[in-house]
A and B are shown apart, each in its own frame.
Chain A
């Protein structure tokens, strides 16, 4: 037993025992523990297996940078992989599991991978197999695929649940003057100062409580400092968000936050609360008080369980009252670890302090005088011994560049401090390039035009008093910037808080990134999550990689879930050494969002299942459902698909509906068509410019079918436009293009033709519409009117438009237009009247044995007639391709009239709209098939099929499609509808797209 829980001290509540399980074993911790501190207290050392080599791993840190103890939390549909044990607060019933190991992390069959380390070195994916037989370029793909599967299985992290996520996530938005990221001393001070100046402040902290490093300090005044800051915050207006990570900074002071609302609580503790909330915050100024992270040093087997950062050892000791070892070695190159050694000594451990420097003086040196600590200067760790937990450490003596192998001393806990890396990640998100600071051997964010202030350890300030002062000054800079911008004095540069220059340490840091001795083969891990070694970096260099960005990708250094927090600086330093350059010459690292992983659930929020996208219902929606509609999606709209009678299949239903429309009458909800009121003295001129066919002479009381092109000459949309008065038009668009047509008309009027006096109003929601189609359509309408003569053939010919009143005083706007090819009308009423209208029309239609019909039979009817819809007008089709070229006016210019005349668009052999019959009329075929010559079923074919239906009128399957040159040249020939992965090859014949009633007698009659 090497680790032990202290009987007093720390921020845990010993009166509240917490039961949890680790790999099925029941263990106990205390309220206030993290999973990591509880596992250490229970002497669980091997907690994970590494990514490539399956090396045993334990806890390496006490924070978000953790790259050793990645564990899986929960089971079943709540299984959450790759959770960092130090960031998981302990709760009753928590289940944690080791991952990436079989049968378990302590006995792992996959660890044989370590023996084959050569195969997994830098770039192993790219070259290990590629250059060798049978993997030469282009030859060994099949072999590669086989090996790749095995390698993938051997290397990896935890696995996510394959079941649907049962939890709820929310999206939320907030605004503030100042966003303070980081709730340590600097952040707390900054928030207090900004709020004191009357600003609206949000303070976010990724942990469950504020305090930052103060929570882990042994100093007697740390607790009182924390209390002072806390009470000042409590009496301020600052909005405090704990368990909330600012994972990304974006343009204009926008920050993305992830609030973990219930992850620290037992399952269903707050059943009506979202698990996590994804916040978008817009702040005028952002203060980054994000602290700094202690660096590792690369030495032999530096990833063994029992090796962690010095600050982590201190945090477990002081905050969680867990002494992680008994024979403690503290290895450092800077002053910060001296306090850790002292704390360990006071807690009863036998402590040896290794300092790579020649000598230290001042308070730091004197502080150890009363202790039992053995100090060894000019010493560093060279190689750890002990596979499943460090047992001994071989020392190196000398200095960087000329280390010699020294004696081996026993130890069960090695605490390493390789220096500190300020967390500049969020500034880096904004393109702020960190600058190397020689004195502190770290990257710092420079002054920037971005509305960002750095504070505290994130700005390279290493002592608590300095951090508090720095936070206050950062707040002052933010206050000044906000005052200046509201006073309108522009961008006065603010004096930034002075970056740390190492002065706050008594003795300067001695940069040490790797400890090696000549001739000794060591495995020095620099990116533990991806098992990248220092040899990998040198190998990449030998193979010609000189750019840091290439190095990262070739070795995968810094590309694991920690985003390079642990390994980047050491990797950069080793690359600089290999190149014989200084770190700043080699480059810097760019951090990208997210700072820590964001769950997919939080990204999706409530936009899931039926809420994935918004849903539009017509005013007749409930009426349709009440009358037996099966619905389908048409864009965002829910529309009736078919109205099956008792026992009918969809095919039986739509065939009956289409036949009924041709025989008597059918009613169809067409509310989803786009409707635009176009009003004003220049309305006619606008329409004449945007439609390709003539509109200038459309009389009042008439509708016209129109085709709109885009600027580039391709078809944009079609529809009918009704002239209600000299200056008032009612335009209908397709359901699919309603929004884009409206936007385009607005653009034309506001940007290109501001001289036109026209007003546009979208009235799609205001008017509900019903198509009344079939030989008995007029009778059906007439039965619903007080004055049926208004719609007699003489008074209301084809394409007539008029305002009428239905029985009961229902105002309506009707036109005699047809999509089905039958005598037909469209009737629009103000949406609130839609159910009354439908009740009345349906009662009348039933007296003629009419039907309700949906999209499927609507499709059958229009395919029979060769009427195009979105399936044909896909944005790549010209008006001639669609067979409508004759409609385009040769006597005027209109949008697209110039570019539709481009030679390529006028070629005779362009694919043109055709009708398709199966050669064997009993056969069917599929939309999406390729049309080929029978002797050349290959490549792109000569055309394609856009729509297929069974035609009740013709008694067999029919289709529409596009075919080179149109149908005339294929008269009497047999083609093949090629559909290799579904239906196979079907012989088809090509006909005119107007497959039914080509002369239109039924419609005009």
Chain B
């Protein structure tokens, strides 16, 4: 059981969360080409080591989080809200 330290709820079992996907993907504009959308939707690195990924605290605060996790050890290096403005507000508060 991975334990995730949600910035809003504290440390919780990963079973409260759902896995999103690669957090480094920059989705293209809606009117971008098929090729750009194809790359964003289908092309993924298969990372061995530290990976940036999104998780949704679906059975908690419902916030989307960006988590740096080692795919070999499950070690989590950082957790922050995916929404940049919220992440920044949280930082200033602390």
Contact = CB atoms under 8 A, between A and B. Distances in A.
Interface residues of B, number: 33
A899 B83 contact: no
Residue among B18, B23, B34, B54 with max Cβ neighbours from chain A (10 Å): B34
B64 A901 contact: no
Contact of B3 (A282, A751, A898, A902): A282
Contact of A747 (B20, B31, B33, B85): B20
A251 interface: yes
A419 to B, nearest CB: 33
Contacts, number: 70
A82 B41 CA distance: 50
Given A746-B62, A751-B82, A899-B41, A252 B30 contact: no
Interface string B56-94: 101000111000000000100000011111100000000
A317 to B, nearest CB: 43
A850 to B, nearest CB: 40
B1 to A, nearest CB: 4
B74 A750 contact: no
B48 interface: no
Interface string A223-259: 0000000000000000000000000001110100000
B54 A751 contact: yes
Contact of B1 (A252, A746, A754, A902): A252
Contacts of B13: 282
Contacts of A250: 1
A751 B37 contact: no
B2 to A, nearest CB: 5
Given A746-B62, A901-B34, A754 B41 contact: no
A711 B18 CA distance: 19
B26 to A, nearest CB: 9
B1 A711 contact: no
Interface string B17-28: 010100100011
Given A750-B81, A750-B82, A251 B2 contact: yes
Contact of B34 (A252, A749, A895, A899): A899
Given A251-B74, A282-B3, A689-B30, A746 B64 contact: yes
A743 interface: yes
A170 to B, nearest CB: 18
A894 interface: yes
A282 B34 contact: no
Interface string B36-60: 1110110000000000001010100
A796 to B, nearest CB: 35
A329 to B, nearest CB: 49
A108 B31 CA distance: 77
A752 B32 CA distance: 15
B83 A751 contact: yes
B27 A752 contact: yes
A754 B29 CA distance: 14
Nearest to B82: A751
A252 B29 CA distance: 39
A897 interface: yes
Interface string A686-729: 00010000000000000000000001100000000000000000
A894 B30 CA distance: 6
A280 interface: yes
B15 to A, nearest CB: 9
Contacts of B18: 743
B21 to A, nearest CB: 9
Contact of A252 (B31, B33, B74): B74
A743 B64 CA distance: 9
Contacts of A750: 63-64, 81-83, 86
A893 interface: yes
Nearest to A901: B34
Contacts of A252: 1-3, 74
B56 to A, nearest CB: 6
Given A282-B1, A893-B31, A898-B34, A711 B41 contact: yes
Contacts of B84: 754
Contacts of A899: 34, 37-38, 41
A754 B83 contact: yes
Contacts of A897: 30-31
B16 to A, nearest CB: 12
Contacts of B20: 747, 751
Contacts of A746: 56, 62, 64
B85 A895 contact: no
Interface string A888-929: 000001110111011000000000000000000000000000
B56 A747 contact: yes
A712 B54 contact: no
B33 A898 contact: yes
Nearest to B36: A898
Contacts of B32: 898
Contacts of A282: 1, 3, 13
A452 to B, nearest CB: 14
Nearest to A755: B85
Nearest to B38: A899
Contacts of B86: 750
Interface in A860-909: 893-895, 897-899, 901-902
Contacts of A712: 41
Contacts of A254: 1, 3
Contacts of A251: 1-3, 74
Interface in A253-281: 254, 280
A254 B3 CA distance: 9
A895 B82 contact: no
B43 to A, nearest CB: 13
Contacts of A898: 28, 30-34, 36-37
A252 B3 CA distance: 6
Nearest to B32: A898
Contacts of A754: 83-85
B79 to A, nearest CB: 13
Given A743-B56, A898-B34, A899-B37, A751 B1 contact: no
Contacts of B29: 893
A899 B32 CA distance: 10
A751 B2 contact: no
B55 to A, nearest CB: 11
A689 B85 CA distance: 21
Contacts of A894: 30
B6 to A, nearest CB: 14
B68 to A, nearest CB: 15
A526 to B, nearest CB: 34
Contacts of B74: 251-252
Interface in A736-751: 743, 746-747, 749-751
Interface of B: 1-3, 13, 18, 20, 23, 27-34, 36-38, 40-41, 54, 56, 58, 62-64, 74, 81-86
5 contacts: A689-B30, A747-B56, A747-B64, A751-B23, A898-B36
